């Protein structure tokens, strides 16, 4: 699978960020065509000191083509537009190929 990752640094106004993120942004992102799984991680700390991140959103697609179709769709453009409006300065977006390892 291909995973699209949005990693956010701490917002200036966490309450306002959370409100928009939960009520508006994730609702838009859930409409990506071909979205297979959508995982949110609320960052709570780091084992070797503070962390510089606040929240991470991970969106899974069947493969890179499916992700690119989702990003180019009208739903994808609505997500991008919303993101740039509320978090352009604190978000980093990247993607990659996912594999799972078995526990030993």
Residues forming contacts to a copy of itself in the complex (CB under 8 A) are: 3-5, 7, 26-27, 30-31, 35-48, 51-53, 55-56, 64, 71, 92-104
Asked whether 9 and 52 are in contact (CB, 8 A), the reply is: yes
Q: Which is nearer to a copy of itself, 15 or 101 (CB)?
A: 101
Least distance in angstroms from the C-beta of 66 to a copy of itself: 13
Q: How would you class 32 by CB atoms within 10 Å of its CB: exposed for 0-12, middle for 13-18, buried for 19 or more?
A: buried
> In 39-75, which positions are buried (b, 16+ CB within 10 angstroms) versus exposed (e)?
eeeeeeeeeeeeeeebbebbbbbeeeebbbebbeeeb
Least distance in angstroms from the C-beta of 18 to a copy of itself: 13
Q: Which is nearer to a copy of itself, 16 or 39 (CB)?
A: 39
DSSP, res 34: T
Q: Which is nearer to a copy of itself, 12 or 103 (CB)?
A: 103
Least distance in angstroms from the C-beta of 93 to a copy of itself: 6
């Amino acid at each position: 699978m291909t995973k699209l990752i949005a990693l956010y640094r701490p917002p200036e106004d966490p309450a306002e960020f959370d409100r928009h993120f939960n009520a508006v942004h994730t609702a838009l992102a859930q409409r990506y065509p071909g979205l297979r799984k959508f995982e949110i991680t609320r960052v709570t700390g780091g084992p070797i000191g503070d962390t510089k991140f606040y929240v991470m959103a991970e969106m899974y697609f069947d493969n890179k083509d499916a992700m690119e179709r989702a990003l180019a769709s009208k739903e994808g453009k609505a997500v991008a537009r919303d993101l740039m409006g509320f978090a352009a300065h604190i978000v980093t977006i990247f993607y990659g190929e996912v594999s799972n390892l078995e526990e030993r």
